[in-house]
A = this chain, B = another copy of it.
């Protein structure tokens, strides 16, 4: 995809001087921590890191960059996995971090909203609203360092999307510095507002290519006070989906998580993180972690037991463990939550964050295995994730004793096979993580042409100079 980012200027000394003069003390040299993504896979380019302390300062940065036509890479927690925070040039941009704007401005229990600055760290938001007996249900692995501005810019997901939706569904309002340096104050806290185009949803998920999110109004929910957790062995994805529908019939929308795990993940865990206790005596081929939560006196455990009994009667459940204490529930979650760490220790040849219609998950799994084996039968697959959303993390690993480096040449073939299959099933090659710079080719290859045309037109309309996160989403 080409857009109008040609003709960007590098941020040279003269520009940086002007920046420093306009924002004394906010401009520093970029360190590796800013330029290299967490896993060390991409290294970015930036002439300086600017850390504004307010929306007004942010707007000043953007106006100066627009004037000089210098690219801006917005930076929040740096936890993105697709290179959205690592610019590649050729023109050298500035990196603008929201970390100094990290206040939780207000938690309002009457409106059930929190107003926060873009730099607020997710886990700190969690803690703060819990003090007010509320839940901000965006829940994901990187929550200890991810910042809300980045989470919204990438429409982050996680384990509770099934119940509460993605980041976009948890946001009532935004404040954004637009590409011309004007500020859109959309920090409303309204549940309903039908006055014109929904800029909020356009900005959310636009990965910093249309403006910089500086603040947000977040939707809070009541904290489920009565919860229940189960670990259930099932015959396969098809049975798991049928079980999900049984649990739904009994527990409605109170299902907070419905996470599928394949035995491969449990084996990686046993090998690389043996300290994590595995509840099942024999590791099942497929299992699901279920969590449900309701209000006072909701009798969740009893009702979940009933649902699982019905599931067992219908032949969907081979074995079921229901947590009898918070400690046991925590132990079940430990299994699920440590799978990514075990994966990293093994070292994947290729990771895929895919979604298909829920009903197509079984076919995806059935066809994916042979397709990968046809490339190299020694490859191992670990499929796990958010079954209720049709979203799997589908990761391909070397044979035992071999390393990812040995498969270097097969990686793009593996990706193409997985992504083609996903596309054939009406799925998405980026369910949660976004496009960033890593998946620009995929976006071009798999998107509907009319959608690409509309995206280019919107980008040109709202960022005519092409300064906002150049190279992300669109080819630089």
Interface of A toward B, CB cutoff 8 Å: 108-113, 154-155, 157, 161-162, 165-166, 168-169, 176, 178, 182-186, 188-199, 201-202, 204-206, 210, 221-222, 224-225, 241, 245, 248-254, 293-299, 303, 306, 355-359, 386, 388-391, 426-435, 439, 442-443, 446-455, 457-458, 460-462, 473
Contact = CB atoms under 8 A, between A and B. Distances in A.
A428 B190 contact: yes
Nearest to A172: B357
Given A195-B435, A389-B191, A449-B182, A253 B222 contact: yes
19 contacts: A154-B194, A168-B201, A182-B453, A184-B448, A190-B355, A190-B390, A190-B426, A193-B428, A195-B430, A195-B439, A197-B202, A197-B455, A197-B458, A201-B201, A249-B295, A253-B254, A458-B458, A458-B461, A460-B461
A429 B192 CA distance: 10
A249 B428 contact: no
A110 B245 contact: yes
A191 B161 contact: yes
Nearest to A182: B450
Nearest to A185: B448
Given A161-B191, A253-B253, 12 more contacts: A108-B359, A111-B358, A157-B194, A178-B450, A188-B426, A192-B389, A195-B443, A202-B202, A248-B295, A254-B254, A254-B295, A295-B303
Most chain B CB atoms below 10 A, which of A110, A165, A191, A253: A191
A193 B442 CA distance: 13
Nearest to A431: B192
A351 to B, nearest CB: 15
Contacts of A204: 198
A185 B426 CA distance: 11
B357 A435 contact: no
B250 A199 contact: no
Contacts of A194: 154-155, 157, 205, 428, 430-435
B196 A473 contact: yes
A257 to B, nearest CB: 14
A436 B113 CA distance: 29
B222 A450 contact: no
